Amino acid sequence: DGGITQSPKYLFRKEGQNVTLSCEQNLNHDAMYWYRQDPGQGLRLIYYSQIVNDFQKGDIAEGYSVSREKKESFPLTVTSAQKNPTAFYLCASSKFRDRELGNTEAFFGQGTRLTVV
């Protein structure tokens, strides 16, 4: 089945540690995204990538890093510089439609709930 897989579903981290969240897609989508969602709030864009080996900062990139070495994979590292990392993290991917319209609808993984202990 085609889809987006995020792992792990739940993740606990000690303060001061870096942690990497996995996101893999087999939809052959060009673009991938990482969002953060805090309780009762909307989705805020952390990073996005349109093509392999290229990515751009979103609205809240500080304290996070990403890589896009393969089309299928877009891992997110939450570094110790992120002051308040406890949140729900969602990964998504979408297909490039054309140069005018850009990307079509995004499909999401099931999310990773990160808790700092």
Binding site for other proteins (CB under 8 A): 31, 33, 35, 41-43, 45, 48, 50, 56, 58, 88, 90, 92, 94, 97, 100-111, 113
Q: Would you put residue 27 in left (φ > 0), alpha (ψ -120 to 50) or beta?
A: alpha
Residue (38 or 81) nearer to other proteins, CB? 38
CB of 89 to other proteins, least distance (A): 10
Closest CA to 61 of 38, 43, 37, 35: 35
Question: Cβ 116 to other proteins, closest distance in Å?
Answer: 19
Q: Is the Cβ of residue 5 or residue 28 nearer to other proteins in the bound state?
A: 5
- C-beta of 13 vs 95, nearer to other proteins: 95
Give min distance, CB of 73 to other proteins, in A.
19
- How many angstroms separate the CA atoms of 95 and 71, rounded? 12
Residue 48: Cβ within 10 Å count: 22
Structure tokens, 68: 């896009």
Nearer to other proteins by C-beta: 7 or 17? 7
How far apart, in Å, are the Cα atoms of 113 and each of 7, 9, 30, 91? 10, 6, 25, 12
